[in-house]
Each structure stands twice: as C-alpha cells, then as structure tokens.
Amino acid sequence: MGEIVRLQKYIAMSGAASRRAAEQMISDGRVAVNGKRITEQGVKVEIGNDEVTLDGAVIKVADKKIYIALNKPEGYVTTVKDQFDRPTVMDLVSREIHTRIFPVGRLDYETEGLILMTNDGDWANMVSHPRFESSKKYFAVISGVLTIPELNRLRRGVVIDGKKTSPAECDIMEIDMGMTLVEITIHEGRNRQVRKMFEAVGHKVKKLRRSRIGIIELGNLPEGRWRYLTSSEVEYFRRK
C-alpha cells in the first residue's frame, strides 16, 4: 500500500504543476481519479494504487521508499497487527508516517532496542537474509554470574533447537548483585536466539536490548522514538 496524499499534493509530487496550480486544475475539472472527474479540493489518493489523470493523460508519482530505525520499548510486538491486541511497533510510528511500512525481522515482545522498518521489500530481504549475515549486537542482563568456561562456550557456539550456533563475540561488561551484564554479537537471527544461547549455558535472560544491526547503531535514540536512516546506512546493506 502506498502513501495517501491530497490530490493537489499528488499532482505536485508528479511534477505536473505546483500545488497551487494543481488546485486550479482541479477546480477547472481537468483532473480525474480512477476515471471520475474531481472538482472539489481535499480528495485523497493512494500513491501507486489510484489512477490520476490530467486532461485525460495518466500522471504518476514514484512511491517514496522509507527506511527508519526505531528504539522499540519492551512490551511491543514487531508485527503489523497482533492477534492478542497488544501494542505494536506500528503504533509508535503511525502518527508521523502515513505510508504502510513493516518491521524488518523481529524482536521479542520483551526485548527492547533497535528494529528497522521500511516499505522496501527487496531491501528488507537483503537485511534479514541469512546469506548476508548482518551482525547484531545485544546487551543482555542475565541471572547469576557467567563463568569464563561458559563465556567461551557461547563464543564457540552452543546447540539450540538441535543445531549449533555460529561463533559469537561475547564479553562480560559487569557483574553486580548476582547478575551479569553481557555484550553479545551474533551473526544469525534464529528465533529467540540470544535467550536460548544463555539458557544453553544455564542462565536466564532478565533484560535484552539490541544496540546494533550491521553498521546501524541505536545510539542515543530515546525509547519509543525513531529516526530516518542515512543514505549510507541504507546503501550498506545493498553493497553486501
């Protein structure tokens, strides 16, 4: 589904006329939407779906591609709609973004941090396709004190769901009050992978935050907020 805009904006976006001139064209009865002549202002059209004609000739607007990074709070699902009506990441962007975008990959309901969203299906495939192995960095607070042998097992790979995980970078950042803060970078995206990796070495994940995907850093983006990716961030995944 494409962006929904006012008809005069559509005409301006197509390059056929300025927005003010477009309003005049509409009043003059020169514009039709899906074969129906429109003379009043304020009609909305969907880019890529509705057919707009000016003096009988079709005018087109390229649907703009959108790429964003969102800092997902805990307690949101990364699906477009949830069967249990829980809050979704869509709720966090829909006030400002009127194009239908979708999350790239997933984060658990309880996990917070970086999630990418786009309306570019090809790009989403490149980011999440196992062949490209985008690295993903997480900070995990786990129960108990992680030992060096356990740390080394995580680094080498542990068996989850009957298959060994590929080598991971893993470092202990802090041990406090019987819990360990661990930084872990994985190169796969299996279901609940980080939680299951820690379970495999006997620790429960209490808190999980994703801080990086490839070169894209969460940085100091506030919780629940989003930003547009830069063009070099977008292109990074195409080059891989």
Size of the site for ligand URA (CB under 6 A): 8
Per CB under 6 A, 137 contacts ligand URA: no
> Looking at 61, 107, 168, 218, which residue binds ligand URA (CB under 6 A)?
107
Distance (Å, whole) CA 128 – CA 202: 29
DSSP state of 218: -
Distance (Å, whole) CA 145 – CA 179: 6
Q: Which of 28, 50, 108, 120 is catalytic?
A: 108
Distance (Å, whole) CA 53 – CA 14: 11
Per CB under 6 A, 72 contacts ligand URA: no
Per CB under 6 A, 211 contacts ligand URA: no
| Distance of closest approach, residue 75 Cβ to ligand URA, in angstroms | 13
30 vs 195, beta carbon nearer ligand URA: 195
Per CB under 6 A, 165 contacts ligand URA: no
Strands (E) in 90-178, as ranges, are 102-104, 112-118, 136-143, 159-160, 163-164, 169-176
HSE-up of residue 29 (Cα within 13 Å, Cβ side):
0
Distance (Å, whole) CA 43 – CA 224: 32
22 vs 92, beta carbon nearer ligand URA: 92
Per CB under 6 A, 179 contacts ligand URA: no
> Looking at 9, 100, 153, 192, which residue binds ligand URA (CB under 6 A)?
192
Distance (Å, whole) CA 208 – CA 189: 15
- Annotated active-site residue 55? The verdict is no
Binding site for ligand URA (CB under 6 A): 107-108, 111, 192-195, 208
The residues annotated with a catalytic role in the active site are 108
